[in-house]
Structure 1
């Protein structure tokens, strides 16, 4: 495990290292960890010491570097709460050809998301990234068209959406609701329009088949997670937050099989959706093409990797 500055590191370790795990969780344990941490980010700096102590108390070996970690493990969970160092932290993991799960945010910029995806693809290293919300049973049922709403014709998803100045607006916490939106709708968004205020964001996406998906990010008032699905049979809620266990089960299954449960193309598109939302805000709420934003980021990633 890389990055002990998030509650996810403690929660995931508790699940994986529980006694008598069965099924997909059997035989997958956190055995070594590198604390990491970002000195300019209070959410990291102020928590890494305490979380590291908790994980050490669970019998996990704490190591001084990623290189030392890679000598001791078969696969890696990159948990650093700060997305900015993810590219540099994942490079040696990919070079060592270890399967890797990258927790949200996938990276600190869309450019870095594309760079990580390119490095992993070129090395043929299995990789995926996801919010825990994706694997809630109700959201998964909606994706399959098995919710009370039937086949999905549209979706309104919501989540808390606190901001962090070092990251694009929705990368930090809005990712949870955007992940729900994409879980239900699937990929295929062509353009994004954003309305922003101090207390909320509303991002409207137009899909290529004419469907419309909406993300509502909440900063003022009660902030919960959820989705309303507009379908062929009904307009109905779909799913709730079910904790970390469904995601951890998917991670364990992925480490054993080498098959990512989320296509990288979908992950890159949903991050492009969020970056397009920022661009729409910069342009006063004008529609922004997701493909244009993604193409620009891929060019920047190629240039970045070409210089290194």
Structure 2
């Protein structure tokens, strides 16, 4: 059995709650989360000790202990990516395959630094939104996409990655500029890609499912709604990554995604004005 270690800001959160069972089931019991570290106790839930007791996972007081006892590492903190740089310093020096949860980094500079650190120490690394792996998205014809309109729920800060990640996987990394076109209640961002291609992301209420509408150079249009078990596919890819040490997502795509999010937040300060993206 291969051992996985959790490194988190605090452990009582949705991803940490779900991943252990999903990984155990998907790997046929060949991989298990066996140890965990939390920087702080949850401000609104169980403390780290109680969470570990409930999950049957050993709580460790340092990141070093988790790394030493694990074959593979998962840095979580999905809602607090500002802590990913601090939490990842030792994992990315370990040489052990490391998955860093969405959102990978708070800005382009940090994202680049994390990949550079992993390369320096030969540590396999990747990150992704689970929605990238929805079978409906994977099956989309990529050639000739001119426009994408994406809708979904949640705040821009935490959930824009679930719309931007599929868009970049479909349209590539050559985003050139962004414009904020939303309101306070319904954030929205216009993204321009090379050759005049465009995509929009739109955030609505919690009852709004993730959906893509695509238009092709041919004039053909299609609507795609992810209804497959994309979390199951996501966990399968994570297991493949741990086994092979081969990242599932190109770092250039992850950096492009983080760049769009960072500059999208900047664009929100000056709506309806283009903000150029760094190349």
1-side partners of 2:56 and 2:129: how far apart?
26
TM-score, normalization by structure 1:
0.80
TM-score, normalization by structure 2:
0.87
Whether the aligned pair in 2 keeps the contact of 1:5 and 1:45 (CA below 8 Å) is no
Task: Compute the RMSD of aligned alpha carbons.
Answer: 2.3
Aligned to 1:213: 199
> What does the per-residue CA deviation read over 1:170-222, in whole Å, with 9 as the maximum and x for residues that have no partner?
3422221112222332221111111131211221111113211111122x473
Number of residue pairs matched by the alignment: 269
Equivalent residue in structure 2 for 1:227, among 199, 212, 217: 212
Equivalent residue in structure 2 for 1:13, among 13, 17, 20: 20
2-side partners of 1:186 and 1:122: how far apart?
26
Higher share of residues assigned strand:
2
2-side partners of 1:285 and 1:113: how far apart?
27
Equivalent residue in structure 2 for 1:272, among 259, 263, 268: 259
Query: 1:9 and 1:243, CA in 2 relative to 1: closer, same or farther beyond 3 A?
Result: farther
Matched, 1:288 2:275: yes
Whether the aligned pair in 1 keeps the contact of 2:73 and 2:98 (CA below 8 Å) is yes
Equivalent residue in structure 2 for 1:47, among 42, 45, 48: 45
Written as runs of structure 1 = structure 2, the 5 A alignment for 1:1-308 is 1-3=6-8, 4-18=11-25, 21=26, 27-37=30-40, 44-47=42-45, 49=47, 53-81=50-78, 82-142=80-140, 144-145=141-142, 151-162=144-155, 170-218=156-204, 220=205, 222-231=207-216, 232=218, 234-240=220-226, 242-291=229-278
Answer with 203-212 or 25-34: which moved more.
25-34
2-side partners of 1:216 and 1:234: how far apart?
22
